[in-house]
Structure 1
Amino acid sequence: MAQRETWATRTGFILAAVGSAVGLGNIWRFPFVTGEGGGAAFLLVYLLFVALIGFPAILAEFVVGRRTDRNPVGALKAYGGGAWKYVGGIFIATGFIILSYYSVIGGWFIRYAIEGFRGDYASHIAAYEGDPEIMFGALSTGLDAFILHTVFMAITVGIVALGIRQGIELAVKVMVPAIILLLVGLAIWAFTLPESGGGYEYYLSPDFSVIAANWAELLPAAAGQAFFTLSLGMGVMITYASYLGEDRNLTRDGITIIGFDTGIAFLTGLVVFPIMWAGALTEPGSGGPGEIFVAMTQAFADVSGGQFLGLIFFATVAIAAISSAISLLEVVTSYAIDEIGIERWKAAIGMGGVIYLLGVPVTYDLIFLDLLDYFADAILLVFGALMLTILVGWIAPQAAVDELEKGIGNLGTLGQVWIWALRIPIVIVLIISLYLGVVEYVDFLTGDFAGWLDENL
């Protein structure tokens, strides 16, 4: 077997992990699930999940990846035994499914950036009966969506095919700082807008009665979003950690990555919600996956300088989408390299091609986006995280502590605190979240999806 690739620098690893975490999960998904969850009420629960669940879980993925130097299937097989390879297969399947529709959504952001380049958003909306929802419906499916899905996946495949140092690491060193700088600039601009105060209040002033009344919906949504934005449960952190040296402080890296990820998610809210309120759009959460396109397009049509700023916003998210997509494709590419023995460029093209085909139905009807997203987010992500937590916390805890201590030194009681956090509170929360997620997905299958089948078959 050829020598396994490694990161050239610590910065490369950090930026790659952050790039995976801050992509569409933070900028596309975070605003609409925050809106669905009641704004600040959801934000509070989400932050608690990140701190209390996300941090111990990301360390679990790190130790398994670095200890085994393998992709998720090989890593779990080597760490826990032969049967655990099937759990690793779930990680591969999760990344496979998520990237299939991520690519379509990434294409949407490219299209909306192009629209900003072509003219002001008010004139574009006017061409669709003056309704941004009709505009989104027209642009999100059909031939144009199919073509941009193709373009987005081709870019992703090209970067991953170049390898860890020459492809992924070089790309994220440019993309991630650009994303952060552009979001900071947009947040400063949003602060200057008149009538934006309501957006800050909605986003930053939690109503605890909303949490008490809607905890059954908030819990799985916050858990899924926390794992989604941290790229947990999909094998990314296992794979990226497998390229690390043993002298790295995994705890410090985990804190850094989570800090950047959470900060960028929070920053995204400081961009989106004030702009929505400034554009007189005060019903967040009602638009689902298309909300950020509908709401932000209308807002950019109504504010001064909206064409240029809309172009910058949508281009920023397109860049972030690529940073996430390359991490997901790297998971399945690493599997093909390690377990099947395929050359990197062939693995990237082959796996990317199959993933691309899975995403094609989303360009036909958005019901397939819901079908894939709900399943990956509410079930597969949480189930994968639950099984990994059980493996590290209950099956082989000492090996995990030994691995975590490399690059740090003796953790003493802190190592046991981490293990017991994985064993009891995190397992309980994940089981509850998984149960609620399954119930929600079954409701979708028997409701919206069954209705679509009746109308179309």
Structure 2
Amino acid sequence: MARESWASRAGFILAAVGSAIGLGNIWRFPWMTAENGGSAFLLVYLLIVLGVGVPGLLAAFVIGRRSNRNPVGAFKSLAGSRVWTALGALCVVTSIMLMSFYSVVAGWILRYFLESATGAYFATPEAHFAAISYGAEAFGYQFAVLAATALIVTAGIRRGIEATTKVMMPGIAVLLVGLAVWATQQPGAAQGYEFYLGFDGAYLAANFLSVLGSAAGQALFTLSIGSGTMITYASYVDDDRSLPLDASAIAVLNLGIGIVAGLVVFPLLFSFAAGPTEGGPGALFVGIAGAFASLPGGRLLGAVFFLVVLLAALTSLISMLEIPVSFLVDEFDLERSTATRGLFVLVTLTGGVNAFSPAVFTLFADHLVDLFLVLGLTGFMLYTAWVLGPAAIDEYRNGAGPISRPLAIPWRYAIGTLFPTFLLFTFYADVTALLGLSVGTGLLAVAALLTLVAFVLVARRSVSENRPHSSDNAD
């Protein structure tokens, strides 16, 4: 079966940015920022996106383009090792886990978009959200969003994903900028900007580990790295594209959209809600709904806002579904339509559990996904550095410009040592916090270093065991 490719560089970048932006920047980012000290979280998040996210994106791009396969097929064909193939399988599991709770939130957004016409959520925003967030009605809206996602993915890379995101992404950007300009005129705008942009060093010093873990998870969530999305998307990229340029463009655009989303949400939360920490996962719906209820033309503004968020949610769901779809198409030679239908049924079932259970939803959205993404990206980096090795440098340099080409070797060793150590440190910090344990930074650092050494030994052993096969793929 002939494999598709992107029709243009712009199509690939917009699809990747659409995957990265999604609800991570508009729904989850304000929630995480509010719960982690506002500006303190923002600073750490920005540093991780640029310092770790871009090199991580490059590792995923190299694996994807080198193999021209889905995550499972990529590790199987390039390494020939069961250990690394299991990492590809983890990507498929993570993507299904992501869709299972993500589609619930997308269903909320679809409902609020439709209800903006009547102002159904205006009178008592908090009570309204509590009444509709879980249960049979939430499942119904979730089903509708998943059905729309499946239709787009069934159409394929060019006619479905690329064509859709080329329309959606400019629309999201234009509408968000317009809302940000409007938000400057609201009564609590100055207070919102202070919370969001005014650096709070004292909070960061007192809560460093918790902020670090949350910021790392959020960075990986918004960039769609660690789940295999970017491996899958890069598998459709031609050899003459500059991977460093594309990774940098995606990260910068993602940051820009995320920052603008904060410039919309926080002024409104301070203007019309009890504060930025109110509502948890429902903060966007409770606080923003209050804003629209008290404004002239609130129904129209509400419809525009939730349309933006709905489009962003769809672009991310599309990328998540493409991971297991490409796996079934590549590895089992299924028709794309057949694979998509089967996965639609599966995610409808797993997502339904999240739609009916707040406890399961919170476990997925606030804890498990972050941990899985950190482990996934750590594996991508170590695999690229120590298994692909020189082949990774060759792939990095294909299509790269004169500025980025000399950075190939430093990049390889950084993703093989420094960045995985950092990610493992945040992983252990998150796990200990989840378990309610108090562990010093020194012990966390030792655990991260020992785990890194173990990972590297496994990587080197897999190379020696499969040297003839790996050598063939490196040519």
Scaled by the length of structure 2, the TM-score of the pair is 0.89
Mapped to 2, the partners of 1:428 and 1:391 lie a distance apart of 14
Q: 2:195 matched to 1:196?
A: no
Match of 2:59 in 1: 60
Mapped to 1, the partners of 2:285 and 2:401 lie a distance apart of 48
- Provide the aligned length of Structure 1 versus Structure 2: 435
Match of 2:212 in 1: 219
Match of 1:289 in 2: 281
Mapped to 2, the partners of 1:30 and 1:80 lie a distance apart of 36
Residues 107-132 of structure 1: CA deviation (Å, up to 9, x unaligned): 1001111111113x6xx343xxx3x2
SS of the residue 1:22 aligns to: helix
* Residue in structure 1 matching 2:143, options 127, 150, 158: 150
* Residue in structure 2 matching 1:174, options 167, 175, 193: 167
CA contact (8 A) 1:37 1:285 kept: no
Match of 1:343 in 2: 335
Q: 2:107 matched to 1:107?
A: yes
CA contact (8 A) 2:217 2:374 kept: yes
Mapped to 2, the partners of 1:403 and 1:220 lie a distance apart of 31
* Residue in structure 1 matching 2:247, options 242, 248, 254: 254
Mapped to 2, the partners of 1:423 and 1:303 lie a distance apart of 53
CA contact (8 A) 1:94 1:376 kept: no
* Residue in structure 2 matching 1:383, options 375, 380, 402: 375
The alpha-carbon deviation at position 54 of structure 1 amounts to: 0.2
Match of 1:75 in 2: 74
Mapped to 2, the partners of 1:386 and 1:338 lie a distance apart of 25
The alpha-carbon deviation at position 400 of structure 1 amounts to: 0.9
Mapped to 2, the partners of 1:412 and 1:277 lie a distance apart of 46
Match of 1:372 in 2: 364
Unaligned runs of 5+ residues in structure 1 are: 445-457
Match of 1:357 in 2: 349
Superposed, 1:264-413 pairs within 5 Å as 264-279=257-272, 281-408=273-400, 413=406
Match of 2:228 in 1: 235
Mapped to 2, the partners of 1:419 and 1:376 lie a distance apart of 28
Residues 333-373 of structure 1: CA deviation (Å, up to 9, x unaligned): 00011112211000011012101110102221211111222
Mapped to 1, the partners of 2:218 and 2:42 lie a distance apart of 10
SS of the residue 2:4 aligns to: coil
One-letter amino acid of the structure 2 residue matched with residue 380 of structure 1: F
Match of 2:25 in 1: 26
Mapped to 1, the partners of 2:278 and 2:79 lie a distance apart of 43
One-letter amino acid of the structure 2 residue matched with residue 366 of structure 1: P
SS of the residue 2:376 aligns to: helix
Match of 1:453 in 2: none
Mapped to 2, the partners of 1:288 and 1:278 lie a distance apart of 18
The alpha-carbon deviation at position 260 of structure 1 amounts to: 0.7
Mapped to 2, the partners of 1:282 and 1:386 lie a distance apart of 39
CA contact (8 A) 1:21 1:261 kept: yes
Residues 187-215 of structure 1: CA deviation (Å, up to 9, x unaligned): 01001222311001111101011111111
Match of 1:90 in 2: 90
Residues 277-307 of structure 1: CA deviation (Å, up to 9, x unaligned): 221x353134221111111111222233322
One-letter amino acid of the structure 2 residue matched with residue 58 of structure 1: L
Mapped to 2, the partners of 1:394 and 1:160 lie a distance apart of 34
Mapped to 2, the partners of 1:439 and 1:318 lie a distance apart of 35
Distance change in 2, residues 1:399/1:67 (3 Å) = same
With 73-82 and 403-412 compared, the bigger mean Cα shift is at: 403-412
Unaligned runs of 5+ residues in structure 2 are: 438-475
Mapped to 1, the partners of 2:140 and 2:431 lie a distance apart of 34
SS of the residue 1:192 aligns to: coil
CA contact (8 A) 2:397 2:405 kept: no
Mapped to 1, the partners of 2:188 and 2:7 lie a distance apart of 47
Mapped to 1, the partners of 2:431 and 2:348 lie a distance apart of 26
With 223-232 and 393-402 compared, the bigger mean Cα shift is at: 393-402
One-letter amino acid of the structure 2 residue matched with residue 352 of structure 1: F
One-letter amino acid of the structure 1 residue matched with residue 237 of structure 2: L
The alpha-carbon deviation at position 443 of structure 1 amounts to: 4.8
Q: 2:8 matched to 1:9?
A: yes
SS of the residue 2:218 aligns to: helix
One-letter amino acid of the structure 1 residue matched with residue 117 of structure 2: F
With 328-337 and 429-438 compared, the bigger mean Cα shift is at: 429-438
Residues 35-77 of structure 1: CA deviation (Å, up to 9, x unaligned): 0111111000000000110000000000000000000001122
Scaled by the length of structure 1, the TM-score of the pair is 0.92
SS of the residue 1:117 aligns to: coil
One-letter amino acid of the structure 2 residue matched with residue 51 of structure 1: L
SS of the residue 2:5 aligns to: coil
SS of the residue 2:116 aligns to: helix
CA contact (8 A) 2:242 2:401 kept: no
Mapped to 2, the partners of 1:354 and 1:143 lie a distance apart of 18
Mapped to 2, the partners of 1:101 and 1:197 lie a distance apart of 34
The alpha-carbon deviation at position 394 of structure 1 amounts to: 2.5
Mapped to 2, the partners of 1:57 and 1:30 lie a distance apart of 20
Distance change in 2, residues 1:39/1:270 (3 Å) = same
* Residue in structure 2 matching 1:427, options 382, 397, 420: 420
Mapped to 1, the partners of 2:225 and 2:352 lie a distance apart of 25
